């Protein structure tokens, strides 16, 4: 492999222990730290706050002179939270012993006031499903017992690879210098033998390592003490966005990675006749190039279900297109490869693009195979169009938020290239309400409400309603039109656009609402029934945050109510308007009279992004001003004359 990839140094002769498939010694780079080093256990209060406290997190990654890798991990943790305890119930490793082997060095739990309990270790042939044994694969299961709050767990495992990583003599890893759990001591050691060399990237103010030479190895080491934990909640950004982390790779470029992926994922050059016939059938009758591409995307998205047969779960290569047409199933790389084949057969330029979803951060990793998703980029009439056939009920040219803004590796025979997946605008991920109605003699509101949903929000609607019976869909849209208001009656519910992925989803209904007016003598106070009124709940219920806040997607919500007023009623103090903005959102509100009609408009545009904890007060103040505007009552005069 190295002869055809000059950017990879030629490995030296193999180690004897590699030939014999024995564990290689690595403790010379970082001597073992024992439990006896930690004289005092964490308090129950500290462990309960974050779910656990790490006494030790010690990681060693070594690349040997023959291009193989050894990883050693030693963890000592005091557990408390239910999820943290469950994470240690059972650890499972599936491996090919001719390629790599895990060695359990220590697995012991120390329940409070009970003797130490050694974990149960079992070895067996691997079965992908009951009765289906996968040749050459083995499985090791580690089961801990007596896990309860304040139990201490010590776990040490070494994993030796006897062939170069993914058929490439390379090492790549990333490590967090700070995690959600506090850590008494965190040590990370990277040792790379000549002729290889490690490239290191530091992110989010990560500290630089101490580097030194040891025989033929260059060693990089981080040794940190008393690292604080990170409070977690539903609005916290993914760790790679804000916690300090380090990235390591011994590869100089993505060339070898691209060539490897091309072999595994690229559609075959000789397309089966069934693919050609299918492409012609799907595009027959389409009136434009874009419509032809949409038809192919719709097939790969809707007709081919997500998933693989259990016997093929561990295959890294894409499935053959002919097989996919037989059983209509495949994962993201299978569906993307099939769509690329169909698009090319229909005359479009198309490529597979590999991405890390947004949970993996927007920062490009150093050269490696660290991708978790495959999507498609195509050229249609000179226009770039993206497709995620495994991402859900999205139309052609629309991507889930998880794909947007990611760095994508486009696969091609020239060695590939990196580009950024475009992010959609808030207008492309919008929800708009338009309504027209009047105030009745009983002061109730009667209006026709029409909603239009685009982008990811439309895809979410389809996930809820597509292929459901009409009565189920009707109940779902009833709930959306009700908006959580009491005293509401909804009639004439309808919808459109659920079946066509490329269209917006619309739904509508006639609404009668009796609870939004309040009479005070000759004055009628009207509270506009906004469908998405802002409330200071969730993260905005707190005065401050100790951690960043993540606005994960861009979106736009617009609402307009046109309420006809009887001649007896007139507005007071109108027009009323509010315009607010901050780096993460924009808001506008206006109520005015137009030809005896009360016209009420509001708009909230979320721009997305990470809000640093020290700037949370700025966003909260903006949010509170918007909430007060949404809650403003409109004053109407002449109530007595109207009522009589």
312: containing domain = 258-423
CA–CA distance, 358 with 524 (Å, rounded to integer): 49
Q: Read off the pLDDT of each residue in 289-304 and give the average, rounded to a whole number.
A: 93
Q: How buried is 199 (Cβ within 10 angstroms: 0-12 exposed, 13-18 middle, 19+ buried)?
A: middle
Residues 6 or more apart in contact with residue 491 via CB below 8 angstroms:
509, 510, 511, 512
Query: Strand 555-564 to strand 430-439: parallel, antiparallel, or no bridges (unpaired)?
Result: parallel
> What percent of the chain has a predicted confidence (pLDDT) above 90?
66
For residue 271, the domain's CATH number is 3.10.620.30
Q: With beta carbons less than 8 A apart as the criterion, state whether 175 and 183 touch.
A: no
Q: What local confidence, expressed as pLDDT, does residue 643 receive?
A: 60
CA–CA distance, 213 with 198 (Å, rounded to integer): 13
Q: How buried is 546 (Cβ within 10 angstroms: 0-12 exposed, 13-18 middle, 19+ buried)?
A: exposed
**pLDDT tens sequence across 578-601:** 999 999 999 999 999 998 899 999
SS3 311: helix
Q: Which of 252, 275, 302 represents a domain boundary (last residue)?
A: 252
Q: What local confidence, expressed as pLDDT, does residue 385 receive?
A: 93
Q: What local confidence, expressed as pLDDT, does residue 2 receive?
A: 35
Residue 332 in any domain: the answer is yes
Q: With beta carbons less than 8 A apart as the criterion, state whether 255 and 7 touch.
A: yes
Residues 6 or more apart in contact with residue 460 via CB below 8 angstroms:
392
Q: Which of 368, 388, 423 represents a domain boundary (last residue)?
A: 423
**pLDDT tens sequence across 327-376:** 899 999 999 999 999 999 999 999 999 998 877 767 889 999 889 899 99
Distance separating the N- and C-terminal Cα atoms of the chain: 91
Q: With beta carbons less than 8 A apart as the criterion, state whether 378 and 388 touch.
A: no
pLDDT at 427 over 50: yes
Q: Which of 230, 252, 274 represents a domain boundary (last residue)?
A: 252
Residue 6 in any domain: the answer is no
Residue 166 gets which letter from DSSP?
A: G
Residues 6 or more apart in contact with residue 502 via CB below 8 angstroms:
294, 298, 395, 396, 397
pLDDT at 15 over 80: yes
Q: How buried is 462 (Cβ within 10 angstroms: 0-12 exposed, 13-18 middle, 19+ buried)?
A: buried
Q: What local confidence, expressed as pLDDT, does residue 73 receive?
A: 98
Residue 543 in any domain: the answer is yes
| Total residues found in the chain within this entry | 644
Same domain, 355 and 477: no
Same domain, 271 and 290: yes
Confidence of residue 644 (pLDDT cuts 50, 70, 90): low
Cα–Cα nearest to 337, from 358, 359, 315, 357:
315
Q: Read off the pLDDT of each residue in 484-509 and give the average, rounded to a whole number.
A: 90
Q: Read off the pLDDT of each residue in 145-160 and give the average, rounded to a whole number.
A: 95
Q: What local confidence, expressed as pLDDT, does residue 232 receive?
A: 87
Instruction: Copy the structure tokens of residue 161.
Output: 């690879």
Same domain, 295 and 402: yes
Same domain, 230 and 271: no
Residues 6 or more apart in contact with residue 216 via CB below 8 angstroms:
65, 193, 194
Q: What local confidence, expressed as pLDDT, does residue 4 receive?
A: 42
Number of structural domains, the chain? 3
The structure tokens 């630089």 sit at: 208
For residue 478, the domain's CATH number is 2.60.120.1130
pLDDT at 462 over 80: yes
Residue 2 in any domain: the answer is no
Residue 292 in any domain: the answer is yes
The angle subtended at Cα 183 by Cα 180 and Cα 189, nearest 5°, is: 105
Q: What local confidence, expressed as pLDDT, does residue 406 receive?
A: 85
pTM attached to this predicted model: 0.88
């Amino acid at each position: 492999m190295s002869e055809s990839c000059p950017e990879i140094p030629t490995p030296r002769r193999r180690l004897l222990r590699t030939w014999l498939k024995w564990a290689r010694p690595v403790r010379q780079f970082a001597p073992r730290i024992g439990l006896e080093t930690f004289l005092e256990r964490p308090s129950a209060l500290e462990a309960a706050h974050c779910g656990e406290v790490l006494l030790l997190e010690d990681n060693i990654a070594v690349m040997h002179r023959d291009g193989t890798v050894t990883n050693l991990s030693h963890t000592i943790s005091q557990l408390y939270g239910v999820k943290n305890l469950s994470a240690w119930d059972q650890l499972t490793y599936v491996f090919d012993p001719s390629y790599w082997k895990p060695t359990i060095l220590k697995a012991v739990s120390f329940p409070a006031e009970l003797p130490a309990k050694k974990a149960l270790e079992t070895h067996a042939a691997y079965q992908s499903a009951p009765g289906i044994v996968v040749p050459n694969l083995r499985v090791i299961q580690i089961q801990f017992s007596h896990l309860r709050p304040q139990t201490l767990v010590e776990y040490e495992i070494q994993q030796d690879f006897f062939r170069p990583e993914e058929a490439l003599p390379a090492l790549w890893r990333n490590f967090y210098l700070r995690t959600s759990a506090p850590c008494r001591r965190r040590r990370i050691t990277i040792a790379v033998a000549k002729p290889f060399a490690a490239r290191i990237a530091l992110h989010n103010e990560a500290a630089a390592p101490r580097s030194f030479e040891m025989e033929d190895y260059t060693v990089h080491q981080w040794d940190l003490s008393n690292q604080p934990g990170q409070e977690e909640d539903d609005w916290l950004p993914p760790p790679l966005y804000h916690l300090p982390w380090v990235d390591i790779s011994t590869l100089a470029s993505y060339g070898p990675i691209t060539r490897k992926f091309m072999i595994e994922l690229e559609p075959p050059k000789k397309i089966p006749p069934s693919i050609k016939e299918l492409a012609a059938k799907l595009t027959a009758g389409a009136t434009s190039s874009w419509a032809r591409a949409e038809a192919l995307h719709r097939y790969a998205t809707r007709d081919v279900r997500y998933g693989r047969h259990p016997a093929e779960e561990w295959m890294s290569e894409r499935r053959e297109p002919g097989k996919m047409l037989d059983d209509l199933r495949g994962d993201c790389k299978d569906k993307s490869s099939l769509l690329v084949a169909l698009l090319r057969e229909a005359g479009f330029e198309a490529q597979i693009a590999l991405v890390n979803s947004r949970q993996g951060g927007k920062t490009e990793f150093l050269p490696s195979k660290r991708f978790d998703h495959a999507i498609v980029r195509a050229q249609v009439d000179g226009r770039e169009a993206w497709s995620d056939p495994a991402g859900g009920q999205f139309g052609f040219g629309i991507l889930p938020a998880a794909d947007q803004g990611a760095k994508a590796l486009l696969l091609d025979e020239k060695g590939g290239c990196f580009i950024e997946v475009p992010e959609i605008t808030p207008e492309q991920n919008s929800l708009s309400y338009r309504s027209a109605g009047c105030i009745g003699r009983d002061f109730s509101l009667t209006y026709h409400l029409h909603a239009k949903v685009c982008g990811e929000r439309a895809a979410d609607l389809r996930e809820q309603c597509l292929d459901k019976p009409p009565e189920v869909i009707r109940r779902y849209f009833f709930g959306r039109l009700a908006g959580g208001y009491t005293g509401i009656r909804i009639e004439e519910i309808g919808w459109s656009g659920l079946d066509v992925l490329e269209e917006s989803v619309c739904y509508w209904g006639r609404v009668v609402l009796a609870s939004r007016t309040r009479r005070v003598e000759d004055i009628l106070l009207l509270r506009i029934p906004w469908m998405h009124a802002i409330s200071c709940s969730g993260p905005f219920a707190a005065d401050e945050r100790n951690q960043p806040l993540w606005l994960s997607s861009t979106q736009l919500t617009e609402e307009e109510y046109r309420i006809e007023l009887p001649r007896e009623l007139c507005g007071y103090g109108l027009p009323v308007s509010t315009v607010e903005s901050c780096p993460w959102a924009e808001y506008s509100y206006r109520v005015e009279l137009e030809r005896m009609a009360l016209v009420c408009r509001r708009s909230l545009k979320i721009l997305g992004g990470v809000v640093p904890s020290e700037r949370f007060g700025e966003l909260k103040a903006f949010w509170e001003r918007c909430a007060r505007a949404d809650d403003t009552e409109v004053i109407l005069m002449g109530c007595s004359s109207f009522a009589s």
